[in-house]
C-alpha cells in the first residue's frame, strides 16, 4: 500500500551563514541558522519520508544536542532516512516541495536541487518537484528573517 507523508522545516536567516537548499549553495547575503548545514529543503523532505511510515522526525534521529550532527551535510541525513524507509520494505515514490522565501530568487537553482534530491532518494528526477514561492512581503518568510519549506512524499512497497 502506498503511504504519504508531509514535512515542514523553517530556519532563521542570518548574516554570516551559507544558504544551502537541496545541497546547492545559493549565493545570498543571509544564510540559514541551524545545527547542521540548515538545509531546510532536505530537512522537510526527510521529515515527509519519515512521516510516511510514522518513523518520527529528523530531530529524533539526528538531534541538535548531538555534536556528531554539527554542520552535517543534510543530503547525507536525507540518504540515511531513505535507508530507514528501504529497511522497512518501502522505496520513495515521488516528492513535491515548496520553498517559501522572499530573497534570493531560486528559479536558477531548482533544477539542480531536484537532481540532488532525486539522486539521494534513488528516484528519477521526473519524480521530484521543487517550487519556489514568495510570501509577498508577509511574515518571516517575506521580511527576510526566515525561510520555510513544505514537502509531501509518497512511498511504495518494494516489489519482491
- For the segment 14-54, what is each residue's pLDDT rounded down to a tens digit? 999 999 999 999 999 999 999 989 999 999 999 999 999 99
Strands (E) in 19-143, as ranges, are 19-21, 24-26, 31-32, 90-100, 128-133
Q: How far apart are CA 29 and CA 34, in angstroms?
A: 16
Domain map (residue ranges) of the chain: 3-157
Query: Going by DSSP bridges, is the β-strand pair 3-14/146-157 parallel, antiparallel, or unpaired?
Result: antiparallel
> Each residue of 91-112: b (16+ CB within 10 Å) or e?
bbbbbbbbbbbbebebeebbee
Q: How crowded is residue 30: how many other Cβ atoms within 10 Å of its Cβ? A: 20
Instruction: State the average pLDDT for the chain.
Output: 95
106-142 tens-digit pLDDT = 999 999 999 999 999 999 999 999 999 999 999 999 9
Mean pLDDT for the stretch of residues 80-85? 97
* Cβ neighbours of residue 54 closer than 8 Å, sequence gap 6 or more: none
For domain 3-157, give the CATH number: 3.30.1330.50
Amino acid at each position: 500500500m502506498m503511504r504519504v507523508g508531509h514535512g515542514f522545516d523553517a530556519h532563521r536567516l542570518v548574516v554570516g551563514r551559507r544558504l544551502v537548499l537541496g545541497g546547492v549553495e545559493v549565493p545570498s547575503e543571509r544564510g540559514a541558522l541551524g545545527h547542521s548545514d540548515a538545509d531546510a529543503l532536505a530537512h522537510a523532505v526527510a521529515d515527509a519520508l519519515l512521516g510516511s511510515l510514522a518513523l518520527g522526525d529528523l530531530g529524533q534521529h539526528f538531534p541538535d544536542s548531538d555534536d556528531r550532527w554539527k554542520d552535517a551535510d543534510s543530503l547525507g541525513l536525507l540518504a540515511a532516512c531513505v535507508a530507514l524507509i528501504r529497511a522497512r520494505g518501502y522505496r520513495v515514490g515521488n516528492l513535491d516541495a515548496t520553498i517559501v522565501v522572499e530573497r534570493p530568487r531560486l528559479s536558477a537553482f531548482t533544477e539542480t536541487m531536484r537532481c540532488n534530491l532525486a539522486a539521494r532518494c534513488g528516484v528519477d528526477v521526473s519524480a521530484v518537484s521543487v517550487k519556489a514561492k514568495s510570501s509577498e512581503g508577509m511574515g518571516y518568510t517575506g521580511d527576510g528573517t526566515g525561510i520555510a519549506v513544505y514537502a509531501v512524499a509518497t512511498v511504495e512497497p518494494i516489489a519482491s
